[in-house]
Structure 1
Amino acid sequence: MKKETSFTTKGQRADIGDLIIYRLLANRYADAVGPFVFLDHIAPKIHSSAMNSATGGHPHRGIATLSYIIEGEDEHYDSAGNYAKVYSGGIQWMKAGNGIIHDETLNADSKTENNRTHAFQFWINLPAKNKAEKPEYLAIHANDVPQKKLTKNSGWIKVIIGSYDGLKSIIPIYSEQFLYHIQLKANGKFIISFPDNIEVAAFLPIRNAIFNDVEFQGGEFIEFDRKAGEIVIDNKLQEETDILLFGGEPYTEPIVAEGPFVMNSSKEIAEAYRDFYGGTYGEINYK
């Protein structure tokens, strides 16, 4: 049985500096897909001069952040003393846990000459017991992202989070969850099945694709029903198309989000702000 579509949306603009950003999750239909509570698409853009894309140092608590860089370079600093820069195809993952301040800057990839940026940022909600843990951090370069070719030379799949067909990401998970980047060649096909009660969404960054015989446009975010079933993805274009597929088991604890914090109660949100203004998250040392 094929899974049915629950809703689609193209999100809302949330630009930062020179970056064109579409906020796709949360949206008016859903607060979360599995543990994923936030998704920004930093749309493809060619920059003709020096960029203005810095967000500045800001706090997080109760979540893990994940930046997946399709094109560009992403520089990370945080108040736990972590620093790294990843380039096109790389990932920045940070478990905020009980509180951290970080600063990320996306720029054109200095290793290439195309001056383009294209990226995604996800927030992954932590279970209550993990929200109180110490922060952690990983920088994963493009060559270290698990990847394999699909059958019949249809394209490839990258496992950003979770596992698939012998591939496993090194990013820690705290519930059943997955995030895949799939690229299908012209006339390529990909089929995947899910059990009951797994929340699944897809996003088409640039070009159209067909899900279970229904065509969707580039820029569309699609959520599917929670019944067991399969998703058949077809590319009928004459060029490749990309798909992000993600989700996991439902988050069953209360979700209270305000600003950069995602906790389980309003009291915990107030405590997150109190601790931040009290200086317990530390400071970033840019040296």
Structure 2
Amino acid sequence: MSNTKLVIEERAANIGNFIVGRLLPFRQKRMVGPFIFIDHMGPACMSDQDNMDIAMHPHIGLSTLTFLFEGAVMHRDSLGTAMEITPGAVNWMTAGKGVVHTERTPDRLRDSKKMLHGLQIWVALPKADEQCEPSFTHVSANDIPSWTENDVQFKLIAGKAFGKQSPVPVYSPLYFIEIKTTEIKTVSIGEHLFGESSLYILEGSITSDGHTYGPKQLLVAKDATLCAFEIEANSTVYIFGGDAFPEERFIEWNFVASDKALIEKAKQDWKDNKFPSVPTETVRIPLPEPKRFGG
């Protein structure tokens, strides 16, 4: 019996500046543990005239996790943060009761050719923390726990697993793990996982229970404790998951909450310009016409 419960194909979504590959939410699987939204950005080869320019937009009820493979993004937020993220580092912004930010190509790259490739992830907050004070943490690539076992390279980008803990300040039990190898290897890590679990193939392929899966596929496991697969040479995969919340989460535009009333209030507050602003920024993305995320 295969341990793969669901295979989600990356779906194109237009976010204004880019066409991204959307993985979550999906109509048959809205969340995996606390992970509620995952976009695969790029790889985009940008000319000296092309730049990322995502103007001010708000969030509530979630933490954003930005993880790049190539390129750089300048993050600015209403807390006064100005932080450039580069490959291997983590930008972790907790919106709580409300935060506003922008994402732009850094000035040093705006007039040159560049690449942009990475993952943009939203992690829903536990009900008790949905209205917490917003915060921002940057974790450098050198501070991410990394190790090699049986010639397989591991990184624990966020959460707890393998008896290790990432310095990213998460709010609920979860894990976000990178696995790379240059040789064909068998990986059996179920004993280190818990809750709900899924595997995203960035490059290469894996074989599980006689089935082979390739890039841009997200595999949702039936049982995280049975996570075992053969990984092909020169492959990179990401495992993410954790404990699911007891309550449903609602998502609309950039807002996540366990109570729809919080989302309606956030929408009205954005219309009424009641959210804080980002220093030096003037352009706000307007609230879109009603439309739900989903595949």
TM-score (norm 2): 0.86
258, 263, 266: which one aligns with 1:264: 258
CA RMSD of aligned residues (A): 2.4
**Paired position in structure 2 for 1:235:** 231
Q: In the TM superposition, what whole-angstrom CA distance separates every residue of 1:234-283 from its partner, at most 9, and x where no partner exists? A: 2234xx11001001111211212111111112212111223333444211
Task: Confirm or deny that 1:210 pairs with 2:204.
Answer: no
Match of 1:285 among 268, 279, 283: 279
1:193 aligns with 2:193: no
String of CA shifts for 1:122-162, please: whole Å, max 9, x gaps: 1101111101110010122222222111x222x31111111
Could you list the runs of 5+ residues in structure 1 that have no partner in the other structure?
A: none
Does the residue aligned with 1:272 lie in a helix, a strand or coil? Answer: helix
**Counterpart-to-counterpart distance in 1, 2:119 and 2:143:** 18
* Cα shift at 1:197: 6.9
Residue of structure 1 equivalent to 2:104: 105
Superposed, 1:67-216 pairs within 5 Å as: 67-106=66-105, 115-149=114-148, 151-153=149-151, 155-194=152-191, 198-216=195-213
Counterparts of 1:181 and 1:228, CA distance in 2: 16
Change in Cα spacing, 1:250 to 1:95, as seen in structure 2 (3 Å) is same
Deviating runs (4+, > 4 A) in structure 1?
106-110, 194-197
Shift of 1:74: 1.5
- 1:108 deviation in Å? 11
Deviation of the 1:109 alpha carbon: 9.0
Equivalent-residue separation in structure 2 for 1:91 and 1:108 (angstroms): 20
Q: Which amino acid aligns with 1:205?
A: L
- Give 1:216's aligned amino acid: Y
1:12-51 alignment runs, 5 A limit: 12-16=11-15, 19-51=18-50
Distance change >3 Å, CA 261–CA 52, structure 1 → 2 = same
Shifted more, 16-25 versus 261-270: the winner is 16-25
Q: What code does the residue aligned with 1:204 have? A: I
Alignment-mate amino acid for residue 59 of structure 2: H
The count of residues paired between Structure 1 and Structure 2 equals: 279
Whether the aligned pair in 1 keeps the contact of 2:100 and 2:275 (CA below 8 Å) is: yes
Q: Secondary structure, in 3 states, of the residue corresponding to 1:229?
A: helix
Pair 124,282 (structure 1): closer, same or farther in 2 beyond 3 Å: same
1:207: how far off? Answer: 2.1
Aligned-partner Cα distance in 2 for 1:48–1:281: 34
Contact 1:16 1:55 in 2 (8 A): no
- Cα offset for 1:82? 1.1
Do 2:33 and 2:174's aligned partners in 1 also have CA atoms closer than 8 Å?
yes
The answer (yes or no) to whether the contact 1:72–1:108 under 8 Å persists in 2 is no
Identity of aligned residues (%): 25
